[in-house]
Amino acid sequence: MKRVRTLLENCSEVALTTDAWSSADSKHHLLSVTAHFIDNETFSPGWCVLAAKSIKVRGTAPNYKQLMEEVLSSYEIPPSRVTAITRDGGTNVKNMCDLMSVPSIHCFSHVLQLVLGDTVYKNQKYTKSIDNFKRIARKIRKSSVLRNQYNEILDESELPGTMLAQECKTRWSSLHFMLKSFIRNKRSVEILTIDNPDLTLTESDWKNAKILMYVLAPISETTTAAQHRFLSPCSRKMRKAITTEVLEVLETRGRNYLSMKTLRFATFLDVRFKNIFLDDDIQREVEEELLAMFPEQEDDEKPDDEGLEIAEKCSIQCVQQF
């Protein structure tokens, strides 16, 4: 404690992060308090854990306020030196900050997890696949037999791989890590299912895993960056600048592609792409140009041989223009 006090004496202001934690059996409750500061002499950022205070009272805002003030008092930190408190979205913690007259910030990493809870975890199409991956990862980790079989497959096949990660909602980015580990070790998992058919994953499961891994990648990266104590924002700015420049140059150099009738028709008629690369105006032009190539015909009128011959000629002309 003496060492921490010495560190805090060299800084004029302190920012705090706090979070409440409960054990799985709800027998233990803790309130963590971490200080973040900049040394007045070296201007280097620093941090230290001030306390993991046991919560033996009701989790109300006044009780939390008292616990927080006890922690600050033990390090001789008046509330006036606290610039802000980063917290979760709990109403009791937010009200605690208001009672202390200290500005509070809802942790952005918490917000990202809430976004996942409102989207991915509420989509039955994906939650079913997620549950299948979680089930397999749990079985392999808990069963020594399956774990040995899995490791033997890696050794015998000389396949690069690691143990499959598990997903836990309270561990940020764990869903992304789990899906990434499965996709990286897909071949090993498929070999394992030959003798263990109950572990079989469908093609739909693998497809959903790839989609989710792609969607979750930037969220995982952002969460990791937000948790980094000494991340330099300059590096992110530089990467954003070069990315923006590349996109602008690419747009300039590729602008003529949309004016090429051949590519516009081929893209629009290709079932893989259709109109996803065309804006509304260009799509309307393409549709009008394509319809102009074919003779008008009533929908309820059955074409005769002559109509078929004309349509065939128009189709040939269309292909020739491509």
Residue 171, number of CB atoms within 10 A of its CB: 13
Final residue of a domain: which of 106, 127, 158? 106
pTM above 0.85, yes or no: no
- Is 295 contained in some domain? yes
40-88: pLDDT as tens digits: 888 888 899 999 988 888 889 999 999 999 999 999 899 899 999 999 9
Strands 104-106 and 82-87: parallel
Task: Decide: 178 and 166 in contact? Cβ < 8 Å.
Answer: yes
Any domain includes 235:
no
> So what's the pLDDT on residue 209?
95
User: For residue 302, what are the β-bridge partners?
Assistant: none
Torsion angle, alpha carbons of 99, 105, 110, 115, to 10: 110
Q: What is the DSSP letter of 299?
A: T
List pLDDT tens digits, range 201-220. 999 999 999 999 999 999 99
What is the mean pLDDT of the segment spanning 96-123? Answer: 91
The last residue of a domain, from among 56, 80, 106: 106
Q: How many CB atoms lie within 10 A of CB 194?
A: 10
User: Do 13 and 92 belong together in one domain?
Assistant: yes
Is 172 part of a structural domain of the chain?
yes
Closest among 5, 171, 21, 12 to 82, alpha carbons compared: 12
Residue 304's domain comprises: 259-321
Give the separation between CA 50 and CA 174, rounded to whole angstroms.
27
Q: Do residues 122 and 199 both lie within one domain?
A: yes
Q: How confident is the model at residue 295 (pLDDT cuts 50, 70, 90)?
A: low
Helix-strand-coil split of the chain, %, nearest 5: 60, 10, 30
Work out the percent of the chain whose per-residue pLDDT is above 70.
88
User: Which of 198, 223, 248 marks a domain boundary?
Assistant: 223
**Backbone phi, psi, residue 120, to 5°:** -60, -45
Query: Residue 38 belongs to a domain with what CATH number?
Result: 3.30.420.40
Whether residues 137 and 210 fall in one domain? yes
What is the count of structural domains for the chain?
Answer: 3
